[in-house]
A and B are shown apart, each in its own frame.
Chain A
Amino acid sequence: MEYSLSFPRDRRTIVVIGSSTGGARTLEVVFSQFPLVDAAVILVQHMPHSMNSALCRHIEEISFMDVRVPEDGEEIEHGKIYVAPSDVHLKLVENRKICLFNDEKVQYVRPSIDVAMMSLERRGSDRFAGVILSGMGSDGAEGISHIKSIGGTTFAQALRTCAIHYMPRAAFATGRVDQMLPPEGIRENIIRFAGIL
């Protein structure tokens, strides 16, 4: 008799975090002593190109995750944080492979949080969470709504804790944010959602 596993071995758990102006302060709290979790984390932080490597290095220093700027075509793995490089958009192909591509800026930015989040698709038993942190504008609002529509879990930073509250406010206004949380709460909920590896 043949048996099949209820959880396909290649199931992915993907957390996409969108962050902009003032979000780096929040990332410091979220990733401080952050354990090795059973998820691939995609971090889209609006920043100058010259900060990409330093941001990776610093998050790797304060967390237990592997942190890297991904290559085009790279397959995502759990236990890793992928920092979207500046000046190109990042999307996931079939929730598995990272695609970096040049295109027009979306809402003044590249990489766009919306582009990354909107690329996730309902597929097998893959699980998703979307998180919006401090920032100007409304990047990520459409993406959060999409993640909710495909069965994901959504968080945004509590407005009173933001350096700039426009992005979390825009996400909240979609009505598709499950919880508005302070940085410590976002950290706890990502860990709980992903589980420890």
Chain B
Amino acid sequence: MAEESSRRIMVVDDDVFILEVMEELLEPEGIGVVAAESGDACIAELTGGFRGVILMDIMMPHKDGWETIQEMIDRDLMGGNVIVMLTAKDVPDAELECLKEQVIDYITKPFEPDEIVALVKGYLNYLP
């Protein structure tokens, strides 16, 4: 099981409603939520030392989820993180296959609350 110190996740989404919902779902389960409203905010948290499960929206203005992951790779910030993508589409674009090794899972919005909680708890076990 993940240690108490690692029971924290980062949610990266420009939709503040999603960030609030995640906090409401996960914090009662003892999982702290770090909210990042953009790819840049995510990079800043990682630079500041965050490591853990990251729920990353794909569609964000200025820097989307894939560009954020590419910057994480370029700046050597991937290590120690487990990335799950949030997407409004049924399936991701096939042309983004080249980054699939970096992403462990996808969640399609709208999501079921139980699914999110179970998934996050499961992936906390996959942290180094």
Contact = CB atoms under 8 A, between A and B. Distances in A.
A34 interface: no
A22 B105 contact: yes
A163 B85 CA distance: 11
B126 A166 contact: no
B113 interface: no
A95 B29 CA distance: 46
Contacts of A55: 126
B21 interface: no
A21 B103 contact: yes
Interface of A is mostly: loop
A166 B92 CA distance: 10
Interface stretch (B11-19, B38-46, B55-63, B76-84): B76-84
Task: Assign chain A's interface to a size class.
Answer: 20 to 34
Interface string A16-42: 000011101100100000000000000
A105 to B, nearest CB: 9
A49 B104 CA distance: 12
B74 interface: no
Contact of B81 (A22, A50, A135): A50
A54 B100 contact: no
A25 B123 CA distance: 9
Contacts of A88: none
A118 interface: no
B79 A164 contact: no
Interface string A32-65: 0000000000000011111101110010010000
Given A48-B78, A166-B91, A58 B104 contact: no
Contacts of A108: 97-98, 100-101
Interface in B1-17: 1
22 contacts: A21-B103, A24-B104, A24-B105, A25-B105, A25-B119, A46-B100, A46-B101, A48-B78, A48-B81, A50-B81, A51-B128, A54-B126, A58-B125, A108-B97, A108-B100, A108-B101, A136-B97, A137-B100, A164-B92, A165-B91, A166-B91, A166-B94
Task: Pick the 6 closest A-B CB pairs, nearest first.
Answer: A50-B79, A58-B125, A108-B98, A136-B100, A46-B101, A54-B126
